[in-house]
Amino acid sequence: LEYAQADIVLNDYVTAVGGKFLVPFGQFIEQLHPAWINKVVSAPLPFREPEEGGLLPYSNTGFQLRGGARIGDWKGLNLAYSAYIAN
């Protein structure tokens, strides 16, 4: 099982996530890693599985808070964040 998570929306700006989730480090793992999206022969070096010589695991078990908020009154200026504690 690569990942299985439960998301609880706490309010408009924060979502609590628990379980085995894809590591929110960079764009590749969460948004491009799934096989139906990533059609390249191999993943970039830092994002390969550790047993393949990579630096980061694709998934981890733990807890995270993530979300986003608008910054100031400027249109289109948003802050997205993710903080996690994992095994």
Can you give the pTM of this predicted structure? 0.71
State the average pLDDT over residues 39-68.
Answer: 76
Question: What is the torsional sign of CA 15, 54, 4, 30?
Answer: positive
Which band of pLDDT confidence, cut at 50, 70 and 90, is reported for residue 39?
A: low
Output the pLDDT for position 31.
67
How many residues make up the chain in this entry? 87
Cβ neighbourhood burial of 58 (10 Å; 0-12, 13-18, 19+): buried
Name the CA dihedral angle for 78, 24, 62, 17, rounded to a multiple of 10 degrees.
40
The DSSP letter of residue 72 is T
pLDDT at 3 over 70: yes
